[in-house]
Structure 1
Amino acid sequence: MEHRHLGRSGLRISEIVFGNLLYPHDSTPDETVLGALRTALDSGITTFDTADIYGMGRSEELLGRALAGEPRDSVVICTKVFFPAGNGPNGSGLSRKHIREGIDASLRRLRTDYVDLYTAHRYDQETPLEETVLAFADLVRAGKVLYMGVSEWTAEQIGEAAGLARELGVHLISSMPQYSALWREPEARVMPACQELGIGQIPYFTLAQGVLTGKYLPGRPPPEGSRGGAELVGGRAAFMRRLLTEDVLGRVQRLRPLADEAGLTMSQLALAWVLRHPNVAGAVIGASRAGQVSENAAASGVKLDPAVVSRMDEILGPVVVHDPADA
């Protein structure tokens, strides 16, 4: 497993980041989740991402159990705050109250005294940015948080927050956008702005919810037990419908010969494509089976031939999302 600096900070994270994502009412057995986490450790993954909202705290609790026997200085623990994870009108957002209460609850579940990276899961339109960044700064001074990150913020929001953070002595070092060979929105503004500011990317949905693994075939129903075959609601359903079209699936299958020629699986090809970007520090994976974790971890260190990247872009070009408003 190779490691990269996160932005211009001194923090090094594994190129493959394990995302312990559980949906609010996820029924995946504890032992299945713990088994995937143990395999991640055995595969050399040192960086683990979660959030208080994942599984309504269950994701953090299981991650805490899995890492309990690991030396604290050998792993990087990342969690997030914003979505409703508490009670009452102050149980969500990025107010000082919710951030302070959120970190204490997360630390209890994670069984640790501090998190390496604490991420603002979304931008809070109802709380002054100064209040949010100052609350993060106080957590850094208290030793509960080492670095600050953001997720799905615009380039303008990131720039303003970075300026405030510098004034307060806080290191804003990461951005977590959705990014894959099929979803390239961050390339237009977020990545260039972050590159200039010394902020690194830790993208999620790097396999486009499994579509880039090639397991969804055109003209056939989604595999049983897959995300595409599950009952989806809200934004997740719309996102999967956009991906599970005949055109998208057909073009993804045309990537298989490229993967074979490179000696890679489809998943490894997709992850190596993400990791080729100079502003990306680590690619988040999510897996429920040990074999998937090991396979994805092997994408670390893979250097794609520029000709392969060009061919991938050519094949996928007509179905790539650059601006969600046009999708």
Structure 2
Amino acid sequence: MEHIQIKGLNKPVSKLIMGSDFFNLSNGPVVSEILGHYLAIGGNCIDSAHNYCGGESEQAIGRWLDETGKRESMVLFTKGAHPKGDGPRVNSEAIRSDLFTSLERMRTDYIDLYGLHRDDPNVPVGHILEALNEHVEAGRIRAFGGSNWTHERLQEAADYAAKHGLIGFSFSSPNLSLAKPNEPFWAGCVSVDSEALRWYEANQFPLLSWSSQARGFFTGKFSPDVRDNADMVRVFYNDENWLRLERAKQLAAEKGVSMIQIALAYVISQPLPACALIGPRSEAEMISCRDGAQIKLTREELAWLDLTGAAV
């Protein structure tokens, strides 16, 4: 599997990142089996968050690391400072509290990639960067970034870090997929549009995409007349996405692969350091992801799929 480099890490990061939002303390055998399949395809990075499964996702990962002794060979990507019922929590106190809890749950003394799960534009980036730099200096974090941050705020943070001699964001984790959302799947989430994608490419800024396969939109299970999934209808049902699906189907047939693999290749093939968060639940789905990540799409194919270029 191909890898990217992220500033601050001494390990490469596999271009497929294993999502763990279904890991919990009661399905240990499933966690072990899935992570075994993930290692077998060459993956080395697990994504989690302070709030996944009420904290059990991080705990399940910590238990697996203890049982297997694989901590040093893995890249741990977890997130904190997610809002709660009383509003945003992107501040030094919440970051410290969530980080220390995550370290305890994952049974480790450092996190490789730490992401702020949301942004709060009302908080100056300087306050946020100074808090995160403290944890890097203490060895608790190797590199940090934003999850669901706009590219404008990422640029603001980069400018502040350069001006004040601080470590800046090393990566970002928004949504990027071939299917473009009508609205955020969850409140406060950020999806990459064409302007943002140009910023990522120009800066060669590492992008770790969640919902990289648009929650199964390209599996063939969805069509304009199948409307039993209200969230999929709300987020992804539009004329342009049906055309993208048809083009993915056509290109998949030409290449002898599946539509869902074309959708994954769309993310992996972007002309920038891009990784895709995946959530396979079986060995067959894992192998499908592996094979999809090996498909190389040209700029012309990417543009045609995304309705911005001529037929290829």
Residue 79 of structure 1: aligned partner: 78
Q: Secondary structure at the match of 2:115?
A: strand
Residue 179 of structure 1: aligned partner: 176
Which structure is higher in RCO with an 8 Å CA cutoff and minimum separation 6?
A: 1
Residue 280 of structure 2: aligned partner: 287
Answering whether residue 195 of structure 2 is matched by residue 189 of structure 1, we say yes
Structure 1 distance, partners of 2:213, 2:259, is 9
Q: Per-residue deviation at 1:117?
A: 0.8
How much identity, in percent, do the aligned residues show?
A: 28
- Relative to structure 1, the CA distance from residue 277 to residue 305 in structure 2 (aligned partners, 3 Å threshold; closer, same or farther) is closer
Residue 242 of structure 1: aligned partner: 235
Q: Per-residue deviation at 1:194?
A: 3.8
Instruction: State the AA in 2 paired with 1:45.
Output: G
Q: Secondary structure at the match of 2:76?
A: strand
Residue 129 of structure 1: aligned partner: 125
Structure 2 distance, partners of 1:161, 1:154, is 11
- Relative to structure 1, the CA distance from residue 28 to residue 209 in structure 2 (aligned partners, 3 Å threshold; closer, same or farther) is farther
Residue 19 of structure 2: aligned partner: 19
Q: Per-residue deviation at 1:181?
A: 1.0
Instruction: State the AA in 2 paired with 1:190.
Output: A
Alignment of 1:302-317 (within 5 A): 302-305=295-298, 308-314=301-307
Residue 4 of structure 2: aligned partner: 4
Answering whether residue 142 of structure 2 is matched by residue 146 of structure 1, we say yes
Structure 2 stretches of 5 or more lacking a match? Answer: 182-190
Q: Per-residue deviation at 1:78?
A: 0.6
- Residues 246-289 of structure 1 show CA distances to partners (whole Å, capped at 9, x for unaligned) of 87457525532421321322222111111111224311112233
- Relative to structure 1, the CA distance from residue 305 to residue 191 in structure 2 (aligned partners, 3 Å threshold; closer, same or farther) is closer
1:6–1:174 CA contact under 8 A, matched in 2: yes
1:7–1:200 CA contact under 8 A, matched in 2: no
Answering whether residue 109 of structure 2 is matched by residue 113 of structure 1, we say yes
Alignment of 1:263-282 (within 5 A): 263-282=256-275
Instruction: State the AA in 2 paired with 1:209.
Output: R
Structure 1 distance, partners of 2:49, 2:292, is 24
Q: Secondary structure at the match of 2:209?
A: coil
- Relative to structure 1, the CA distance from residue 246 to residue 10 in structure 2 (aligned partners, 3 Å threshold; closer, same or farther) is same
2:25–2:56 CA contact under 8 A, matched in 1: no
- Residues 287-326 of structure 1 show CA distances to partners (whole Å, capped at 9, x for unaligned) of 2333212211222332125554354234999xxxxxxxxx
- Relative to structure 1, the CA distance from residue 41 to residue 252 in structure 2 (aligned partners, 3 Å threshold; closer, same or farther) is same
Which moves more between the two structures, 253-262 or 111-120? 253-262
Which moves more between the two structures, 67-76 or 242-251? 242-251
Residue 52 of structure 2: aligned partner: 54
Alignment of 1:25-64 (within 5 A): 29-64=27-62
- Relative to structure 1, the CA distance from residue 260 to residue 208 in structure 2 (aligned partners, 3 Å threshold; closer, same or farther) is same
What's the TM-score once normalised by structure 2's chain length?
A: 0.82
Match 2:159 to one of 163, 167, 171: 163
Residue 225 of structure 1: aligned partner: none
Structure 2 distance, partners of 1:6, 1:190, is 19
Structure 1 distance, partners of 2:63, 2:261, is 28
Instruction: State the AA in 2 paired with 1:43.
Output: I
Structure 2 distance, partners of 1:138, 1:7, is 17
RMSD over equivalenced CA pairs, Å: 3.2
Q: Secondary structure at the match of 1:298?
A: helix
Structure 2 distance, partners of 1:155, 1:306, is 22
What's the TM-score once normalised by structure 1's chain length?
A: 0.79
Which moves more between the two structures, 42-51 or 255-264? 255-264
Structure 2 distance, partners of 1:272, 1:40, is 18
- Relative to structure 1, the CA distance from residue 149 to residue 2 in structure 2 (aligned partners, 3 Å threshold; closer, same or farther) is same
Instruction: State the AA in 1 paired with 2:103.
Output: L
Structure 2 distance, partners of 1:260, 1:80, is 38
- Relative to structure 1, the CA distance from residue 102 to residue 168 in structure 2 (aligned partners, 3 Å threshold; closer, same or farther) is farther
1:203–1:280 CA contact under 8 A, matched in 2: no
